[in-house]
Amino acid sequence: MTPDQRLRRGRVAVLVVLVALFVLYLVGLLTVAQLLTLFVFAIVAVLVMTVRPAQVRALLGRVEQVSAGGVSIELAAAGAKAAAAAPTGMEDDGDDDATSIVELRFRLERKLADLAAGVLSEPVGDVVVPTHVTIGGLVRDHLLGSAEATVADTILTTSENEFRSYAETQREALLRDGGRFVATFRAAVFHERAAQVLARQLGGVERVRRDDAAGEDLVVTGTGGRVRWVPVFADAGSDLVRDQQRRVAVLPGRSVVLVPALTPSPPPADGQVPVRTFGDLLRGT
């Protein structure tokens, strides 16, 4: 007997059973509860006898995407948007791609701690005091947008078991797009924080995009003329900072590379664009 013949016979048998159940109910031999119970068994029999294995797998795949994929689909879309809209990609990340949601969460938590210890500090006299940081606080202070906050919150709150319940394509999207977001997270917050401090201390800030840059420079025009500030989340002596020094050196006007350190700025080298620390900017020195 071929598979198609077996399917046809199964359908006929199930149809006969359903008709018989309905007749028994009409003559009063079955209660409503019994009828419903037997109908459930009949429906299961229909699925088993009439649906091919390949169709079952496809159906289960669609169910998995609908039931477990709602959050991850939204997260993947928000992650891609947040990564693409990050004000700057200039961050010395140095991490490989995350292989689990737990690893991605640890990286984000470490970067939140970095921001609390430096970028979000506030000056008290001549001393720069670290502060506490939350995702809600970053949104309140306009350092993080709603799409980015959604990504960060989901990374921080998704358990490993919940992550494994997602379809494989959505797990991959979560790690890929969430990883892109985490990779530039500190740089994005640092960029916005630097813009706020510069605007407060030196006046209005103009955002200018260079053709060779991943993000925008912050240009301030004051009594000292037009100055281009380039926030880079990296150590003052890193290759990333030196590369930006070389790139902005050929631009007209004065340029300064801003790094997140709270220590005093390194002495300027002859012929190089100066590097200034965020601590000195906060202290006004």
**The tokens of 185 are what?**
């997270």
58 within domain boundaries: no
What's the total number of domains in the chain? 3
62 within domain boundaries: no
Q: Which of 173, 188, 203 lies at the terminal end of a domain, its last residue? A: 188
Q: Which of 138, 163, 188 lies at the terminal end of a domain, its last residue? A: 188
- How does the average pLDDT of the chain come out, rounded? 77
Which residues neighbour 176 within 8 Å (Cβ) at sequence distance 6 or greater?
76, 79, 97
215 and 169 housed in the same domain: no
Q: Which of 57-66, 80-89, 109-118 has the lowest mean pLDDT?
A: 57-66
Confidence of residue 228 (pLDDT cuts 50, 70, 90): very high
98 and 145 housed in the same domain: yes
Domain of 279 in residue numbering reads as 190-283
pLDDT at 170 over 50: yes
100 and 167 housed in the same domain: yes
Of 38, 34, 58, the C-alpha closest to 46 is: 38
105 and 139 housed in the same domain: yes
Q: Whats the size of the chain, residue-wise?
A: 285
Q: Which of 27-31, 151-155, 273-277 has the lowest mean pLDDT?
A: 27-31
Of 217, 211, 172, 221, the C-alpha closest to 194 is: 217
Which residues neighbour 262 within 8 Å (Cβ) at sequence distance 6 or greater?
118, 121, 128, 277, 278, 279, 282
277 within domain boundaries: yes
127 within domain boundaries: yes
> Coil, strand or helix: which one is 159?
coil
Q: Which of 25-29, 85-89, 238-242 has the lowest mean pLDDT?
A: 85-89
195 and 178 housed in the same domain: no
77 and 144 housed in the same domain: yes
184 and 194 housed in the same domain: no
CATH code for the domain in which residue 258 is found? 3.40.1350
Beta carbons within 10 angstroms of residue 285's beta carbon: 11
Q: What is this structure's pTM?
A: 0.67
63 within domain boundaries: no
- pLDDT of res. 231: 92
161 and 204 housed in the same domain: no
Query: Phi and psi at residue 124, in whole multiples of 5°?
Result: -125, 100
